[in-house]
């Protein structure tokens, strides 16, 4: 069976804005909707891998091998507890990848090459979500060069929009050079507190300036969302009726839209 998955990088060069949380829970929500999803953990911290319940000692083949050895995506996927949700794990090996990539000629094309060489069309996936590290380094560039689109989690706080313009410039630059099909999937507001004036103001500014690029769905700050990873589960199975779970399901519906 030949099916080209849609590849989405989840990226924002700021740390702690909800990238990994969005990768895990959007991935789970898409799987709940019947889609087959591979989450690629491209952060050496391995938070997505931990958050989906894969112990460090069990991470045999990782995204490091995908980038820098001849392993294909199919060789490194691990089936999570959520049906149809697969994980390509990472560990601290990946922290040396940036330097090693620097030394290779195709330094920004290694992930795209890996997808092509062992053709991902044969894996029967609907979506590939790439959880990016918190910087615009070579790992992130590899993700964007291999992707169809970039989804940006934005935490509603004072400097949020400032970092965003830098990210959007990078996306444009990559579209003009290495990957002409790259587009902006959208911006999703995360850890939103509707009683907080600053949050509401950032939302207003974002919707006014970026209009259709901002998802209607807003992810609320919800303690169940932050508890779930320590149980190695998405909030969708940890507490299916929590506000966080409901929001991520709604984001999945919008994305499939």
Residues lying near Mg ion in the complex (CB under 5 A):
19-20, 47
Report the site for ligand ADP in 172-201 (rule: CB under 6 A). 190-191
Task: Give yes or no for a contact between 248 and 29, defined as CB atoms under 8 angstroms apart.
Answer: yes
- Closest CB to ligand ADP among 156 and 171? 156
- Closest CB to Mg ion among 10 and 123? 10
47 in contact with ligand ADP (CB under 6 A): yes
| Sign of the Cα pseudo-torsion (12, 17, 21, 27, in order) | negative
d(CA 126, CA 24): 16
Element (H, E) at 154: strand 149-155
- Closest CB to ligand ADP among 51 and 72? 51
Element (H, E) at 101: helix 97-102
Residue 240 binds which of ligand ADP, Mg ion, none (CB < 5-8 A, kind-dependent): none
- Closest CB to ligand ADP among 96 and 226? 226
Q: Any residues with CB less than 8 A from the CB of 19 and at least 6 apart, and which?
A: 10, 11, 12, 131, 132, 134, 153
19 in contact with ligand ADP (CB under 6 A): yes
With CB under 6 A as the contact rule, the residue among 7, 8, 11, 17 that binds ligand ADP is 17
| Least distance from ligand ADP to the Cβ atom of residue 120, Å | 24
End-to-end CA distance of the chain: 24
With CB under 6 A as the contact rule, the residue among 50, 179, 222, 242 that binds ligand ADP is 222
- Closest CB to Mg ion among 39 and 66? 39
Give the number of other CB atoms < 10 A from CB of residue 52.
Answer: 26
226 in contact with ligand ADP (CB under 6 A): yes
For the record, the structure tokens of 65 come out as 């091998």
Binding site for ligand ADP (CB under 6 A): 15-21, 47, 134, 190-191, 219, 221-222, 225-226, 244
């Amino acid at each position: 069976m030949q099916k080209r998955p849609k590849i989405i990088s989840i990226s924002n060069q700021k740390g702690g804005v909800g990238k990994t949380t969005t990768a895990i829970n959007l991935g789970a929500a898409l799987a709940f909707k019947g889609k087959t999803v591979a989450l690629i953990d491209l952060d050496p911290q391995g938070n997505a891998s931990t958050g989906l319940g894969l112990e460090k000692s069990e991470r045999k083949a990782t995204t490091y091998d995908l980038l820098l050895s001849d392993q294909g995506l199919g060789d490194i996927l691990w089936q999570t507890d959520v049906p149809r949700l697969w994980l390509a794990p990472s560990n601290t090996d990946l922290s040396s990848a940036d330097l090693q990539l620097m030394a290779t000629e195709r330094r920004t094309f290694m992930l795209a090459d890996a997808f092509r060489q062992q053709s991902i069309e044969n894996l029967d996936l609907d979506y590939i979500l790439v959880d990016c590290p918190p910087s615009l380094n070579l790992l992130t560039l590899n993700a964007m060069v291999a992707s169809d689109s970039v989804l940006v989690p934005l935490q509603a706080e004072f400097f949020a929009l400032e970092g965003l313009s830098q990210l959007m410039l990078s996306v444009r630059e990559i579209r003009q050079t290495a990957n002409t099909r790259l587009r902006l999937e959208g911006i999703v507001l995360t850890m939103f507190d509707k009683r907080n004036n600053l949050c509401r103001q950032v939302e207003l500014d974002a919707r006014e300036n970026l209009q259709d690029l901002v998802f209607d769905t807003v992810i609320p700050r919800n303690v169940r969302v932050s508890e779930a990873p320590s149980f190695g589960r998405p909030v969708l199975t940890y507490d299916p009726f929590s506000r966080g779970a409901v929001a991520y399901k709604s984001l999945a519906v919008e994305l499939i839209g």
